[in-house]
Amino acid sequence: MSTPLRIGIVGLGTVGAGVVKLLTDNRDLITGRAGRPIDIIAVNARDRSKDRGVDLSPYRWQDDASAMASADDIDVVIELIGGADGLAVSLARKVLENGKGFVTANKAMIAHHGGELARAAERSGSPLKYEAAVAGGIPVIKALGGGAAANEIKSLFGILNGTCNYILTEMESKGSSFDDVLQAAQALGYAEADPTFDIDGIDAAHKLAILASLAFGTELDFDHVETRGIREIETADVERAAALGYRIRLVGEARLDGDRLLQRVHPVLVPLDHPLAKVTGSLNAVVADGDFVGRLTFEGAGAGAGPTASAVVADLIDIARGEAVHAFGVPVDSQIKMQPGDHEQGIGRSYIRAAVADQPGVMADITAILRDCGVSIESLIQRGDGSDGGDVFIAIITHETQLHRTAQAVEKIAALGSVIQPPMRMDLLN
């Protein structure tokens, strides 16, 4: 029998336990596809006594995770503890410096330190794999770095955070408020106790920065991902968007604009007939446009023990086969350093929502501001007559224009004395 690929696992949470279960339950199938056995040698986690639903007795318990980096009987270390810094990145550095393979599901670490780690992997000739870091079980990293490698990718966009997508689609289907759906998502385990990374768009921004670097051959640039989450979205926005023929989704977008790389994560209005409008619940989707292959669409479970463990083991199978590729598709020194783009310099259509006092002249003031800023109205919905002391809700879809003009108009509308709460703007997906 061929020499086994010997692995150590650091982190035995939901995904770590899922990797153990998958390697155990599908051992024969995985051996056949990898061309040799993949054997777990050692494991590590914070709590040795915790019941994780899998039998860990056959494996060495490694109290010091960093010791796996130099262990003679380990070829590959899997990191599943998370966090951009701390133990995760120090372990990655040691593993790669010692010439061992490194597999991770840690999108924050790759987004912040991927360039450094890829360079370390090149120096030592070791594989650095991170399929599970983006979109869970969807093989988008492999597709962009391998299957579509002959294409020039023009743009990519997608739904990259299942928690936000779940919240938005629940607001659509049940008419519930953002806060109520978030609490329900936390109770079901779809959202963390501290949901900041998800609902403020940071998690999606990590993934977008990774995808952009891989797709365009550019240096990782997480710091310049324009990021905005979904906290501001109200049930009324969801309802008005539907009435106007749209659904709201948190979308990550990246494209090259000359010598600039535009990256942003933001809530957008998506036409009902667009593929992303049909992505519901906690699913993820990534769409990439190649010059020869055309539009590629990937959709599936973006998180969870099974899908994420599947992606981790797929990386292990690649390593076992001896498939050597650069972590970001090209050598680090070949990556292009781009200036950050500014989406406000582009052209597009926008949704503007405002709550205003019910008094004469308010709509005239708003339309005058839009006119003076060079923004014309495509459609408008007005609800509420103020008779019960409530405010009037206005939702506007603009015609296509320079987005900085729309931003300027929103600022001027916010300064009106009749505006009860700051107006909110979302762009429409192009």
Q: Cα(52)–Cα(14) distance, rounded to whole angstroms?
A: 8
Amino acid code (one letter) for 87: L
> For this structure, is 337 an active site residue?
no
- Residue 262's Cβ-side half-sphere holds a number of Cα atoms within 13 Å equal to 16
C-alpha pair distances (Å), 289 with each of 43, 141, 246, 258, 339: 41, 15, 22, 17, 22
Packed helices 362-372 and 403-414: angle between N→C axes, nearest 10 degrees: 150
Q: List strand residue ranges (DSSP E) for 176-230, in order.
A: 226-227
DSSP-assigned states of every residue in 244-268: TTEEEEEEEEEEEETTEEEEEEEEE
Q: Cα(49)–Cα(43) distance, rounded to whole angstroms?
A: 13
The catalytic position among 21, 207, 278, 337 is 207
Q: Are 160 and 284 in contact (CB under 8 A)?
A: yes
Q: Cα(187)–Cα(183) distance, rounded to whole angstroms?
A: 6
- Going by their DSSP bridges, the two strands 246-257 and 260-271 should be labelled as antiparallel
DSSP 400: S
Q: Cα(425)–Cα(195) distance, rounded to whole angstroms?
A: 23
| Residue pointed to by tokens 């007559």 | 385
Q: Cα(228)–Cα(186) distance, rounded to whole angstroms?
A: 21
DSSP-assigned states of every residue in 271-302: ETTSGGGG--TTEEEEEEEETTTEEEEEEEE-
Q: Are 279 and 285 in contact (CB under 8 A)?
A: yes
Amino acid code (one letter) for 248: I
Element (H, E) at 190: none
Selection from 65, 59, 119 nearest residue 88 by Cα: 65
Q: Cα(409)–Cα(173) distance, rounded to whole angstroms?
A: 32
Residues in Cβ contact with 83 at an 8 Å cutoff, skipping those fewer than 6 apart: 106, 108, 109
Report, as residue numbers or ranges, the catalytic residues.
Answer: 207
